[in-house]
Homo-oligomer: A and B are copies of this chain.
């Protein structure tokens, strides 16, 4: 067993009364959090911000916000060195039907996994055949409706490490497990995520610290002009791309800086 629970509210799954709403509808949120070598959580503030934005967007109740705060505070006391913490929040338990009472008791779970070391090696990235649906009501949120990612993961060629997803309007969105940064015509850009995609915590950290990255609408034809590329994910950090859709890309010096700065936070 390479994981353990450190928080596990009773009621997840099919309990006596009824299934919880994460199981029935994917009515919940999650965060995957990396801890540093000393057990500290350098990006906790970003995780908290995104989790709370999600709770608000899905209209979870006050109780869910309070419980999530307590769980995040508990995490910051944990001091699990170089680990991955996965927190899940379910809206609670209801019989059947989409309606949820306002006073539902939310469920929280936290799992601890050992995290792989952060590495500097490059990625081989292909373009996915699945197109993400455009849904502003869910965009940006790390919710538990992840069938698109499950289907996109099935499309991977054996030599791909990650895969770039476009939406049904052929706009670039993200990787299946990470956010995308593209160096096009001498500038770093990352896709606007107001219609699809997850607002990654490492993406937010990069955008705050490196003001030379712009958030833009990136179309499929822009991909022909890509000179360098990076993918980010809290667990894997910043990774540069050496092979994109069969083309060889060069490592950009900015990428190396981001990567080193990220690694330093977790050292």
Contact = CB atoms under 8 A, between A and B. Distances in A.
Interface of A: 1-3, 5, 8, 12-27, 30, 32, 58-59, 84, 86, 88, 90-91, 95-100, 109, 111, 113, 130-135, 137-138, 143-154, 156, 168, 176-177
A56 to B, nearest CB: 12
A150 to B, nearest CB: 5
A26 B147 contact: yes
- The oligomer's copy count stands at 2
Nearest to A5: B14
Contacts of A58: 147, 150-151
B24 A146 contact: yes
Contacts of A30: 24
Given A3-B96, A22-B23, A96-B113, A138 B148 contact: yes
B14 A95 contact: no
B12 A88 contact: no
18 contacts: A2-B95, A3-B95, A13-B14, A13-B19, A13-B20, A18-B111, A20-B23, A23-B90, A23-B144, A26-B147, A32-B96, A58-B150, A58-B151, A59-B154, A134-B168, A135-B168, A137-B148, A145-B145
